[in-house]
Structure 1
Amino acid sequence: MSKIALITGATAGIGEACAHVFAREGYNLILTGRREDRLNKVASYLNDKYNVEVTAMSFDVRNRAEVIENLNELPAEWKNVDVLVNNAGLSQGLDPIQKGDIDDWETMIDTNIKGLLYVSKVVSNWMIDNGKGHIINLGSIAGKEVYPNGNVYCATKHAVDALNKGMRADLLPFGIRVTAVHPGAVETEFSEVRFKGDRERAKKVYDGFEPLIAQDIAETIWFVASRPAHVNINDLVIMPTAQATATNIFRH
């Protein structure tokens, strides 16, 4: 039977790119996302192009009941997940702490930390029962350092970094691999979401240098997942050549 990858936030950006790469490599897919129309289009395209089975599940990882209900309703054969890519995540706003929007804080905390936990809780137990598995958590350079006005987003990604290490330790006796991939600047919908649809402001984030693209991260995630079973890449930071730190970018 083909291997199975479960990818959250698969409607765009890194999640969608991961879906393409794992489908290309012959994995059957469980794809989750909030935008049902886009999710179904991605699923249909990958099924047609790569002749793999794709299950699309539209729910918000912030909603614990939806996560548990949708995942537990999967048929038994679909719970034999080999790779979980915890990709769903976002940033909202870019304000100093004293001016931050509390609703933005809640959205980031609920998505980036709690959503990752809800999905991991269910799927890690499947992996323990199956005696195998690999959890890949999408972090960020914001999980390794902080930058002005990034306060709560940086805090959530620092939490992902810590949770990745905790998962690695807790799941060690079960032979389950755990990896964090921490990208620097990647041109996806990330900045557009952060700036709440302001495309002009989002575009300026990437002016004057060549950022990473979603495919770069997806291929890196595939590399991590495709190592032999005795090899675990604990932690990986990937940056554009033009970026040294979160705030040090060489622009032409």
Structure 2
Amino acid sequence: MDSRTAVVTGASSGIGAASARALAAEGFRVFCAARRTDRVRELAAEIDGVAVACDVTDPDSVASLAEAVGEVCHVLVNNAGGAFGSDPIESADPDDWRAMYEVNVIGTLQVTQALLPALRASGDGLVLTMGSTAGRIAYEGGGGYTAAKHGTQVLSETLRLELCGEPIRVSEIAPGMVRTDEFSLVRFGGDQEKADAVYAGVPDPLVAEDVADAVAWIATRPSHVNIDELVIRPRAQAAQHKVHRVE
């Protein structure tokens, strides 16, 4: 395992950073990729990994990531993504929708394309994309994000079909409510009150480490075992619209 390499995009915080730590604990040499270079440098130093500045929406930046990784890669975790805004379709900002599609879908596409030769060269590769339960069902105020995450899901499904017969597994994790420091805060433009309201009264929402544990589990299955999809929610969330809250 010491010679196996992994790439995690969006590794500067939340699920990405936790996933990098979890993979490093399993013996992977992890390339920590994100736009915020100060954070990924700290993370890489902590886990004896490699920090790479990368904006997944920028083709040149993605090409630089592939060059840094080199000729062989065993695991790619497409984690970079995000939600921007929560307005209804009638008043939603098209620029928010474009931004969500660019980072969640086009960014995932570009990184996957750039690293497929190295994954193929490993003889035992894994493309693991971070989707969402929003990629399975719509909800009010989430049109742009659910559209983007549906796109992410279909990208994974199509890639699995197209790579059938090759030594590359394709998996998707679809988390439900995960409380991280930044996801909801970014979505609501820095409004801490709105961000806190998402999880108000929810006993024990998921945390980044819960999802990272699933990332490491999938990455360490035997080569012939493909986890197509893994949906993970907190016990308090039965569905997008059914969440137990306590006062």
From 42, 48, 51, give the equivalent of 1:56. 51
Corresponding residue of 1:16 = 17
Using the alignment, how far apart are the partners of 1:132 and 1:62 within structure 2?
Answer: 27
1:51-130 to structure 2, matched below 5 A, reads 54-68=49-63, 70-74=64-68, 76=70, 79-130=71-122
Change (3 A) 1:179 1:250: same
In structure 1, stretches of 5+ residues that fail to align are: 48-53
Q: Distance in 1 between matches of 2:23 and 2:50?
A: 14
The DSSP-based 3-state class of the residue aligned with 2:7 is strand
AA of the residue aligned to 1:194: R
- 4+ residue runs of structure 1 moved beyond 3 angstroms? none
What is the match of residue 243 of structure 2? 249
Counterpart for residue 3 of structure 1? 4
1:223 counterpart (201, 217, 222): 217
Q: What's the offset of the Cα at 1:204?
A: 1.3
Structure 2 partner of 1:204? 197
Q: C-alpha distance in 2, partners of 1:43/1:64?
A: 23
Q: Percent identity?
A: 41
Once residues 204 and 57 of structure 1 are traced to their aligned partners in structure 2, the CA distance between those partners, rounded to angstroms, is 34
The answer to whether structure 1 residue 190 and structure 2 residue 180 are counterparts is no
Q: Distance in 2 between matches of 1:221 and 1:2?
A: 19
User: 1:248 Cα deviation (Å)?
Assistant: 1.1
Q: Paired residue for 1:51? A: none
The reply to whether residue 163 of structure 1 matches residue 136 of structure 2 is no
Q: Higher mean Cα deviation, 233-242 or 125-134?
A: 125-134
TM-score (structure 1 length as normaliser): 0.93
Q: 1:75 deviation in Å? A: 6.1
CA-to-aligned-CA distance 1:77-111 (integer Å, 9 cap, x gap): xx311110000000000011111112211110110
Q: CA deviation at 1:237?
A: 0.5
Deviation at 1:65, TM superposition (A): 2.0
Q: Secondary structure at the match of 1:159?
A: helix
Partner of 1:57, secondary structure, is strand
Say what the alpha-carbon RMSD is for the aligned residues: 1.2
- 104 and 44 in structure 1: CA distance in 2 versus 1, 3 angstrom threshold: same
Q: What are the Cα deviations for residues 164-217 of structure 1, in whole angstroms up to 9, with x where unaligned?
A: 111111111212100010000000111011011112211111111121000000
Instruction: Give the partner amino acid of 2:217.
Output: F
- Residue 165 of structure 1: SS of its match in structure 2? helix
CA distance in 2, matches of 1:125, 1:143: 27
Structure 2 distance, partners of 1:72, 1:236, is 27
CA distance in 1, matches of 2:134, 2:107: 18
Q: How many residues align?
A: 243
